[in-house]
Amino acid sequence: MKKIFAKGSIALGSVMAAGSAMAIDFTAAATSATTEINNALNAAVPVGIVVLTAVVGWGVFKRFAKG
């Protein structure tokens, strides 16, 4: 068991050392994700406003329709 643990820790250490030497550039992925989120929000906000307006309008109508 100790041999397996020792080999695993050596392998993990070498992977971590190799990972720290490499620089990973996430700008393209972040830009793409931001663009997709902005597009989704631009499509969803008008629908949300219409739904919110309908709900509030219905509540106001029910309040004043009862008399």
Phi-psi region of 50 (alpha: psi -120 to 50; beta: other; left: phi over 0): alpha
Using the Cα atoms of residue 49, residue 54, residue 57 and residue 58 in order, give the sign of their dihedral. negative
**What pLDDT, in 10s, does the model give residues 21-33?**
578 888 988 999 9
Evaluate if pTM is beyond 0.75: no
Q: How many domains does the chain have?
A: 1
Average pLDDT, the chain: 81
| Residue range(s) defining the domain that contains residue 31 | 2-65
pLDDT exceeds 60 at position 17 = no
pLDDT in tens, 39-55: 999 999 999 999 999 99
